[in-house]
Amino acid sequence: MTQATIIVNPSSGKEEALDYLRSVEELLQSQGYEVTVKETQKEGDATGYSIAACEAGADMIVSIGGDGTLHETINGLSGQAHQPKLGIIPLGTVNDFARALQIPLIPEEAVRTLASSRVQLVDAGRLNNRLFINVVAAGKLAESLTSVSSDDKSRLGALAYFKEGIKELAGNASHPLTIQHDGKTWAGETPLFLAALTNSVGGG
């Protein structure tokens, strides 16, 4: 029997992730998968579960959560001899990667895509030995956005990031930065450095 591992962040989707978990399980089982469910509790859990799924020979990994859960999951896939297919149920605040791949942002519709046999290859970048498949950001503005609490994201949605960004920009948000690229060097001050692999950043 083919194997699938579901990695779910219970706090995603305004804490509704577990409401969709059963639908994902039922669909995968109808497709002939034996399903294992792993709930994240802390940072790094999704990466560990992803590594374990690869080592166990899983045929598919499904990430239920936001871009952060997805980021950890793909870093678990990095360098593994066995590479499962990756399914995505976007339940985060912004879901940039799902937007870029035109995966439905309505959870019920995203679940149905798991029955498709279509597989899409995507680009990946590497920074400081970590993979990214959507965007990497640096600077004081980027740092302020990582401090947005789960409560604020559940209560305010994308406005939670806007609120933190405005607070940072109201102060002295510039940060010295040196970028080495293509044999050249750029140095200066900026509130934000952004490198994107997709056409969706911050929900736009």
- For 86-111, the pLDDT digits (tens) are 999 999 877 888 988 899 999 999 99
Last residue of a domain, one of 117, 149, 169: 117
Query: What's the predicted TM-score (pTM) here?
Result: 0.79
What pLDDT does residue 30 have? Answer: 96
pLDDT per position as a tens digit, 133-169: 888 877 765 665 565 556 655 565 555 555 555 555 5
3-state secondary structure the chain: CEEEEEEECCCHHHHCHHHHHHHHHHHHHHCCEEEEEEECCCCCHHHHHHHHHHHCCCCEEEEEECHHHHHHHHHHHCCCCCCCEEEEEECCCCCHHHHHCCCCCCHHHHHHHHHCCCCCCCCCEEECCEEECCEEEECHHHHHHHCCCHHHHHHHCCHHHHHHHHHHHHCCCCEEEEEEECCEEEEEEECCEEEECCCCCCCC
Domain extent, residue 102, equals: 2-117
Last residue of a domain, one of 67, 85, 117: 117
Instruction: Specify if 124 maps to a domain.
Output: no
What pLDDT does residue 74 have? Answer: 94
Could you tell me if 139 and 78 lie in one domain?
no
| Cβ 198 vs Cβ 135: under 8 Å | yes
